[in-house]
Amino acid sequence: MDTGIATKCIYGNHEKFEGDRTGAISFPIYQTATYAHPAVGQSTGYDYSRLQNPTREQLEKIVASLEGGLDALAFSSGMAAITTLMEIFKPGDHIISEADLYGGSIRLFDHINQKNGIEFSRINFAEEDPENYIKENTKAIYIETPTNPMMNVIDIRKTAELAKKHNLLLIVDNTFLSPYFQRPFELGADIILHSGTKFLSGHNDTLAGFIVVNTPELSEKLRYIIKTTGAGLAPFDSWLVLRGIKTLPIRMEKAQENAQAIVEFLMQEKKVKNVYYPGIPGTNNYEVCKSQASGFGSMLTFEVESKELALHILESLKLIPFAESLGGVETLITYPTAQTHADVPEEIRIKNGITDSVLRLSAGIEDKKDLIADLKQAIDSFRE
């Protein structure tokens, strides 16, 4: 049955799970570590929950369905997913990555993967041609789009064409837009990543990560690694993400509506120097995003006049929490310099535009007039 994405969020590809005979509408939590065997050499299909668990398997099928992939693997966090993915590479391999990435990804690449012999070239895809950085040992291109936190939009089709020309893997972190707004496989990507903690879960109550692939070879390779390293998502957390995905479409739509209203407000504020959001008409980001996604999302970044004003806003907000993370029903504001990108060297942060007067905001699903009023009172109460 070919169904729309809102239906897939609830039923996936409508495959029935034969292990439960109760007719439960909410998929059961199989809170077990191991499974009894009928006899020697026989299995129920489940042997040990590090290998697979019915609740995790159901979640993985749903996510694979949403992205149009062959297989999805659920991990204990987004970083666990990226860490596992890096294990498909070997010492001496080279990866080209976007310069503006989540700080945890940069930390992993710089302090773990490079130590293990993987080489990285970090470039600004908007200003530099990645083809100039391809070498004999280059194996993959790694991007986020939009990027975290500066909201740069990378042309996935164009990058996929380049990757295929040189027989490289294209890895796309699709966390910010989710499969509801953007489906990278349809644009030529080979591997899709998610921090499932964010929009897929949507309630700021659990950690999760995903790798989605569309070839048997990558599936087999990654299944072996997740079995060996043991980074799979636990049953209860899998159930929480399953529950969260059911409301993904209505959350994404409402949060985007709020983000667009906040962007319009911020662009009129004299104390706000810059607003970064893919949905601002007249920008290159707008045109590229419009060509490859069905929405602009609910993430935005803005730069105010001074560090002092940025700190004042964080301390003066009465409704919006000052907290790390994003993608939940609650609007959250983050200070990248001290939080998400604190471990990124200062010269790299500044080069990427992450100054000490930059704030990142993840719009939630509250009443937009309340969010704007909270931001306005925080800005207006600042006295230099």
Q: Is 50 a catalytic residue?
A: yes
What do you get for the CA distance between the two ends of the chain, in Å? 61
Classify residue 318 by burial, with Cβ atoms within 10 Å: 0-12, 13-18, 19+.
Answer: exposed
Q: Is 133 a catalytic residue?
A: no
Structure tokens at 359: 């704030």
Catalytic residue among 198, 251, 254, 349: 198
Q: Is 276 a catalytic residue?
A: no
CB 321 within 8 A of CB 330: yes
CB 318 within 8 A of CB 377: yes
What DSSP string describes 289-307?
A: HHHH-S---SEEEEEES-H
What is the CB-side half-sphere exposure of residue 216 using CA atoms within 13 A? 0
Catalytic residue among 173, 190, 237, 374: 173
Structure tokens at 124: 């600004």
Q: Say how many residues make up the chain.
A: 384
Q: Is 155 a catalytic residue?
A: no
CB 284 within 8 A of CB 349: no
Q: Which of 314, 268, 326, 339 is nearest to 146 (CA)?
A: 326
Catalytic residue among 46, 102, 180, 277: 102
CA–CA–CA angle 276, 281, 282 (5° rounding): 95
Catalytic residue among 50, 61, 273, 307: 50
Structure tokens at 67: 């992205």
Buried b (16+ CB within 10 A) or exposed e, 36-61: eeeeeeeeeebeebeebbbbbbbbbb
**CA 320 vs CA 264, 370, 377: distances in Å:** 18, 9, 12
DSSP-derived 3-state class of residue 287: helix
Q: Which residues form the catalytic set?
A: 50, 102, 173, 198
